[in-house]
Amino acid sequence: MATTNLNIRTDKNVKEQAEAIFSELGLNMTTAVNMFLRTTIRENGIPFDLKLDTPNSLTAAAIEEGRRIAYDDAIKGYSSIEDLRNALEE
């Protein structure tokens, strides 16, 4: 396979932000661009949405509340469903 260099210009912040996302996805810039180009050819158009799963503010708040509850010794916890059922029946 013959290769060639592709030089593009983009805003420095755009490049840095994209590299950070690609890194989280386990990709480098070259691999990400090649994925985009090959899939564009295969799909004959802009091919896909590749995103990180980022929870919305409500979900993020629920996750934080769950973490707070999990580590708060003042909040009663249950080690089995039976213990929980018994406590609910009291």
What would the pLDDT profile of 14-36 be if each residue is shown by its tens digit? 999 999 999 999 999 999 999 99
Give the pLDDT of residue 42. Answer: 95
CA 31 to chain CA mean position, Å: 18
Give pLDDT, residue 52. 81
Residue 50: count other Cβ atoms within 10 Å of its Cβ: 13
Q: Are 39 and 47 in contact (CB under 8 A)?
A: yes
For the beta carbon of residue 35, count every other beta carbon within 10 angstroms: 15
Residue 49 has pLDDT above 80, yes or no: no
Q: 80: burial class by Cβ within 10 Å (0-12, 13-18, 19+)?
A: exposed
| pLDDT tens digit sequence for 37-46 | 999 999 999 8
